[in-house]
Amino acid sequence: MLRALDLKLLRDLWHLRGQVLAIAAVIMGGVATLVMSLSTYDSLVDTRDRFYSEYRFADVFANLKRAPESLAERLRALPGVERLETRVMAGVKLEVEGFSDPITGLLLSVPDAGEPRLNAVHLKRGRMVQPYSSDEAVLSDTFADAHGFQPGDRLAAIIQGKRKVLTVVGVAVSPEYVYQIAPGAIFPDFKRYGVLWMGRNALAAAYDMEGAFNNVALKLSLGVQPQDVIDRLDALLASYGGTGAYAREDQFSNRFLSEELNQLRTTATVFPAIFLGVAAFLLNVVLSRMISLQREQIAILKAFGYPDAAVGWHYVKLVLLIAVLGVAAGTALGTWFGQGLAHVYQETTFRFPYLDYRLNPRIVLFALLVGGAAAISGTLFAVFRATRLSPAQGMLPETPTVYRATVLERIGLQRWLAAPSRMILRHIERRPVKAFFTVLGIAFAGALMMVGNYQKDAIDFMVDVQFRQAAREDLALTFIDPTSGRVLHELAALPGVTHVEGFRDVPAILRFQHHEYRAAVYGIQSDGALHRSLDRRLEPVAVPPGGIVLTDHLAERILHVQPGDMLTVEVLEGERRVLQVPVLGITRQYLGVSAYMQQASLNALLREGPVVSGAYLAIESGMEQAVYERLHERPRVLGMVANASAIRSFYATIGEFVLFYTMVSTLLAGAIGFGVVYNSASIALSERSRELASLRVLGFTQGEIAYILLGELAVLTLAAIPLGMLLGVGLVGILVLSFTNDLYRLPLLLTPQNYALGASVVIVSALLSGWIIWRKLGRLDLVAVLKTRE
């Protein structure tokens, strides 16, 4: 049997059900983002850690030109090295029947005898290659799924210019390639890039690496600093064409995964904080109103002997019930979102053998604590007032509200304002803090909407900058080795090729004082029409001769150099020269970081003739396939990346992601917008139903009294729109600041459409609430209100 006071609580909740639901929806929004981000974060971290350890993901990696297998012993003897695996790694062109776009592939060796000691693969289908088989391969699952490969199917690889037919025996995922992207590519492209594993002997035979290796992975003993090992490794490998060893944290796939995890953590703090803050404010407004309506009831309870604390607890319970409702709904929604997000990750970005989505009870408990704390902190003051009310005081009617003329009227605008408009202004001005928080709450709805839609705009913008301003070539191709510039004439002569620009790129370590970064230095054409560097205003700018131009992030955040400084460039190729090169300019780039020089200057520094490592091609529309075929036949062409198809496939991949985020953000922004507007309108209606009914009796139409109530709402909503835009810019700013790294920088970009979307979520929530209030105004009981004292 419920106690009488608890029954009152439940009935009060039922009576306020609209507002209770609206507030619970806002809490739900916060908890849903919290639960979604934290649970997905947890699941990804758990899965990653399990995958890495079960499949022996290495700690340090190094690529080199070629070293005899005997060197492995010396490497293994390095202090701190626990285990080591040498491999053969080959960049290849792939041929898939019925698919004519260029495909690049990476062939990796697996030991013929026994399991890989490091970087093992997890078979999803089929089997591993048989020992000493010559033509078997295991495919990465992204590539296999994109083309529908099954064990038993065949494909061809062009290894060192020789075509080799491979039989697919298995489909696998690897801890090294959780995030799979072609070297130098901007986006993952599952159809046009694949990783394949072959037996060591077969691959070495095809790649002229018998008794040798060109890639090594190391597992370090516990507690060993990777940098010490890397330094020793670099020294040993230098004479074998080593291009610099790197630790797991710089391993591309792992690096990208870490950045994504950081993003989830930010989502888990910033957004729930906004929602719960707004919910706390709404609860404060609703509870304050309820307590002032229930003055007499409180007085009577106390007169009958209920202690102050019991009365306070009564209202705290009410608030907690609303919070629990919101947390429960938020946990359910967050779990659903989390499962969705994990699924989208697994489909589009990160490939794990399994992704166990798990909702840790710790997260639910945390959500409950945070939700409850926010709710109680928002209502402390109102509850305190209820406990302090003395019974005698409570029996008396509340002193009438004191109004005064508003600033607008005092400065002489009153004659422009009819009585209803004055009522609106005075009501707002009487409680400026409440009005401000209402505006702020509504504004956050718009801001959240803008953040949700920012993602797509940012991607569009980055694609535009990258492919329509900077890398405008239709096809980028790389040669197996640096080649004489004469090859460019041959390329230009191919039917369908309208323009050719050669480039030279070389891996290098860039140093300035104690800062260093491993990057490719690109020698491009100063007057290039295809591949250009852009200045800070994203205008194409010519690379000056005799020096180097750096991406802003690389110059300012990583190397801390300014134009005019001398940069040390340690070339990791050929004679491995160490050069002093003046920094001549800063360029802007959102994806990756690069160093640019004029090709002629780079050739001169490397003491070589007009040598190119690859070429950018413009191709006549419709002739692409023909050009691909001609180039594919050429043994010296190592790989090709076609921009248009890369962009198309990228959009196909992220479409699901963008859709998911847009759905989530629209839902949440709607919840917050509706929650705030509907609550303030409901409170206003409750506070003012008496005066509005009086006006109705005096002959005001429903439209005229609606003007007074909804007019106030409209003023607040209109004020919220620009503030929401401002907050939207601020929140996007936070995103931009927190996701600035050498892999990508987000542009601070807000399109007019995005502003419009932010405004429309505010307007739609206001209209919806306005419509509900309008219907309630139609049911205003004119007679009853005249009989009662407020």
Q: CB nearer to other proteins: give 12 or 409.
A: 409
Q: Taking CB under 8 A as the criterion, which residues in 92-121 touch other proteins?
A: none
Separation CA 247–CA 59 (nearest Å): 6
Largest CA distance in the chain: 102
Q: Which of 210, 403, 562, 726 binds other proteins (CB under 8 A)?
A: 403
Q: CB nearer to other proteins: give 529 or 784.
A: 784
Q: Which of 10, 309, 697, 734 binds other proteins (CB under 8 A)?
A: 697
Q: CB nearer to other proteins: give 621 or 788.
A: 788
Closest by Cα among 108, 103, 107, 142 to 124 = 142
Q: Is 434 in the site for other proteins (CB under 8 A)?
A: no
Q: Which of 401, 498, 513, 753 binds other proteins (CB under 8 A)?
A: 401
Q: Is 695 in the site for other proteins (CB under 8 A)?
A: yes
Q: Is 295 in the site for other proteins (CB under 8 A)?
A: no
- Please, where are the H alpha helices in 294-399? 295-303, 308-348, 361-388, 391-395
Q: Which of 99, 384, 461, 700 binds other proteins (CB under 8 A)?
A: 700
Q: Is 787 in the site for other proteins (CB under 8 A)?
A: yes
Tallying the residues shown for the chain, one arrives at: 790
Q: Taking CB under 8 A as the criterion, which residues in 703-742 touch other proteins?
A: 704
Q: Is 632 in the site for other proteins (CB under 8 A)?
A: no
Q: Is 786 in the site for other proteins (CB under 8 A)?
A: yes
Least distance between other proteins and beta carbon 698 (Å): 5
Least distance between other proteins and beta carbon 766 (Å): 22
Indicate the DSSP class of residue 169: E
User: Is 350 strand, coil or helix?
Assistant: strand
Q: Which of 694, 738, 751, 760 binds other proteins (CB under 8 A)?
A: 694
| H or E element in which residue 653 lies | helix 643-697
Least distance between other proteins and beta carbon 358 (Å): 52
Q: What token pair was written down for 778? A: 């139609």
Least distance between other proteins and beta carbon 717 (Å): 20
Q: Is 577 in the site for other proteins (CB under 8 A)?
A: no
Residue with the two structure tokens 């953590």: 265
| H or E element in which residue 144 lies | helix 141-147
Separation CA 61–CA 233 (nearest Å): 10
Q: Cβ contacts of residue 4 below 8 Å, gap of 6+?
A: none
Least distance between other proteins and beta carbon 691 (Å): 5
Dihedrals phi, psi of 240, to nearest 5 degrees? -110, 20
Least distance between other proteins and beta carbon 709 (Å): 12
Q: Which of 402, 411, 433, 493 binds other proteins (CB under 8 A)?
A: 402
Q: CB nearer to other proteins: give 400 or 752.
A: 400
Contact 447, 730 (CB under 8 A): yes
Q: CB nearer to other proteins: give 486 or 789.
A: 789
Interface region with other proteins, contact rule CB under 8 A, candidates 166-174, 351-359, 423-431, 671-679: 423-431
User: Is 1 strand, coil or helix?
Assistant: coil
Under rule CB under 8 A, how many of the chain's residues touch other proteins? 36
Closest by Cα among 34, 656, 655 to 363 = 34
Least distance between other proteins and beta carbon 16 (Å): 22
**SS3 sequence, 592-628?**
CCCEEEEHHHHHHHCCCCCEEEEEEEEECCCCHHHHH
Q: Is 420 in the site for other proteins (CB under 8 A)?
A: yes
Q: Is 396 in the site for other proteins (CB under 8 A)?
A: no
Dihedrals phi, psi of 615, to nearest 5 degrees? -145, 150
Separation CA 128–CA 170 (nearest Å): 6
Least distance between other proteins and beta carbon 393 (Å): 18
Helix 252-293, helix 308-348: angle, nearest 10: 150
Q: Is 365 in the site for other proteins (CB under 8 A)?
A: no
Q: Which amino acid is at 664?
A: V
Q: Which of 411, 699, 775, 779 binds other proteins (CB under 8 A)?
A: 699
Q: CB nearer to other proteins: give 539 or 704.
A: 704
Name the E strands within 439-512.
Answer: 475-484, 497-512
Q: CB nearer to other proteins: give 384 or 700.
A: 700
Q: Is 232 in the site for other proteins (CB under 8 A)?
A: no
Least distance between other proteins and beta carbon 776 (Å): 15
Q: CB nearer to other proteins: give 417 or 492.
A: 417
Residue with the two structure tokens 């409440």: 434
Q: Is 788 in the site for other proteins (CB under 8 A)?
A: yes
Write each residue from 329 to 358 as x if it is in contact with other proteins (CB under 8 A), else as -, in one continuous string. Answer: ------------------------------
- Please, where are the H alpha helices in 184-307? 200-206, 226-237, 252-293, 295-303
Dihedrals phi, psi of 588, to nearest 5 degrees? -105, 140
Separation CA 558–CA 553 (nearest Å): 7
Q: Which of 117, 154, 422, 648 binds other proteins (CB under 8 A)?
A: 422
Q: CB nearer to other proteins: give 529 or 697.
A: 697
Q: Is 782 in the site for other proteins (CB under 8 A)?
A: yes
Contact 190, 142 (CB under 8 A): yes
Q: Cα separations (Å) of 13 from 83, 298, 338, 460, 548? A: 65, 17, 30, 47, 69
Q: Taking CB under 8 A as the criterion, which residues in 25-64 touch other proteins?
A: none
Least distance between other proteins and beta carbon 11 (Å): 16
Q: What token pair was written down for 687? A: 């506070």
Least distance between other proteins and beta carbon 414 (Å): 9
Least distance between other proteins and beta carbon 419 (Å): 4
Q: Cβ contacts of residue 570 below 8 Å, gap of 6+?
A: 508, 509, 510, 511, 576, 578, 579
Q: What token pair was written down for 772? A: 């509900």
Write each residue from 449 to 488 as x if it is in contact with other proteins (CB under 8 A), else as -, in one continuous string. Answer: ----------------------------------------
Separation CA 464–CA 763 (nearest Å): 31
Closest by Cα among 19, 28, 31, 666 to 282 = 19
Q: Is 399 in the site for other proteins (CB under 8 A)?
A: yes
Least distance between other proteins and beta carbon 288 (Å): 17
Least distance between other proteins and beta carbon 696 (Å): 7
Residue with the two structure tokens 């946990």: 331
Q: What token pair was written down for 734? A: 């936070």
Q: Cβ contacts of residue 310 below 8 Å, gap of 6+?
A: 5, 301
Q: Is 416 in the site for other proteins (CB under 8 A)?
A: no
Q: Is 696 in the site for other proteins (CB under 8 A)?
A: yes
Q: Is 779 in the site for other proteins (CB under 8 A)?
A: no
Q: What token pair was written down for 250? A: 């710089």
Q: Which of 53, 701, 740, 753 binds other proteins (CB under 8 A)?
A: 701
- Parallel, antiparallel or unpaired: strands 162-173 and 122-126: antiparallel
Q: Which of 400, 412, 495, 564 binds other proteins (CB under 8 A)?
A: 400
Contact 714, 774 (CB under 8 A): no
Q: Is 690 in the site for other proteins (CB under 8 A)?
A: yes
Q: CB nearer to other proteins: give 253 or 288.
A: 288
Q: Is 423 in the site for other proteins (CB under 8 A)?
A: yes
Q: Which of 426, 632, 636, 648 binds other proteins (CB under 8 A)?
A: 426
Q: Which residues bind other proteins (CB under 8 A)?
A: 399-405, 418-420, 422-423, 426-427, 430, 690-691, 693-702, 704, 782-783, 785-790
